Structure 1
């Protein structure tokens, strides 16, 4: 047979050309495998639980949440431990005077925006944030809510938290979109 017309067989491949990609895969003990499977099952159960929340508010216990387009956004204020610690009356967090003062007060939103924008060096970027419109007010209200919830400590670069539906709803009522279209929660881009 002509060796040029025939494709190489495994015996003809030099050892350095073989695929050793599986040689470096981690080896797990039976316990570790069980733990991995358990964690995967919990994550799948959580995704399944959340998907039942889409486009309804049956999950809401404060009475002020609205149906959200995704399961992850379908969160009630009473499901967040940090909120419950701030909420002595146990009513919806949006009824708290502190919340109204910090998050729904236009002067507070403008003040936070001023501090945020003062750190921006790029003129175009700065101008974008200084636009006086409801979209910017909503964005800063969401930021202020997270700051308020965390006792004014920043979360860190690209760290995001889901905001409860009732809070999102109250902010949207205060600063509505002209076309009724909202962006919703987005995970941070990972570098």
Structure 2
């Protein structure tokens, strides 16, 4: 519009006109006209109406009657289980315990360890004589002397329940296939660069230490550490030895 007004002052014959193209820029049909309200802030799209908002859902709460009924059912089921156990013969209880151990061995081991902690350490039986080189801090009878105080740790179990002789020690902690799978999952650079036998064994020992901690303590937070008992440590070292008998001892995280 500014160009057209200046042209009209220079000549009387100049025709003042408005190009049709301007109707696309500021007209009512397209561009920034009134129709944009329907596209930008209208109720159908964008920020308006129901689109983009989550529906409010109600919270489900049990009534006091339902809670009482569920608690009663739990108590009734526990009472029936206790009655069945009380009526079992010694042979029947042994069969059921073996069946549970076959399906859930970790559960039986955890319960046995809990019972061991409640009863406390026991003295060796007639078939379990004291070992002459057993450290004074060892309870299971299978530990060896360690060079540092932080590594002088025992599993705390009776000899027949020592962690070092449990089936899981061979199946999930020191098995080479399991350890290699763990190293592959962790993308263990130390394992990938190991070429010499001593380096391979060192990487397998570190993987076995991690596997033991994971099995007995679960996943730890960043910076947290747990010592591997001496009895289990030497099972790992005996299976993956260092030719120079050089081992890095446990360093606590505090």
Counterpart residue number, 2:209: 142
Q: CA deviation at 1:174?
A: 0.5
Q: What residue number does 2:142 align with?
A: 64
Where 1:162 maps in the other structure, the secondary structure is coil
Give me the whole-angstrom Cα distance separating, in 1, the residues matched to 2:241 and 2:219: 26
Task: Give 2:185's aligned residue.
Answer: 115
Please state how far the C-alpha of 1:128 moved relative to its aligned partner.
Answer: 2.7
1:94 paired residue number: 164
Mapping for residues 31-180 of structure 1, pairs under 5 Å = 57-78=135-156, 90-117=160-187, 127-130=189-192, 131=194, 133-150=200-217, 153-180=218-245
Count how many residue pairs are aligned between Structure 1 and Structure 2.
117
Cα offset, 1:58, TM superposition = 2.0
Q: Is the 8 A contact 1:56 1:68 kept in 2?
A: no
TM-score by length of structure 2 reads: 0.42
Unpaired segments of 5 or more residues in structure 2?
1-132
Displacement of 1:62: 1.2
Structure 1 distance, partners of 2:204, 2:214, is: 15
Q: Which runs of 4+ in 1 moved over 3 A?
A: none
In the alignment, is the contact (CA less than 8 A) between 2:155 and 2:229 conserved in 1?
A: yes
Contiguous gaps of at least 5 residues in structure 1:
1-54, 79-83, 118-125
Name the SS of the counterpart of 2:150 in structure 1.
coil
TM-score of the aligned structures, taking structure 1 as reference length: 0.56
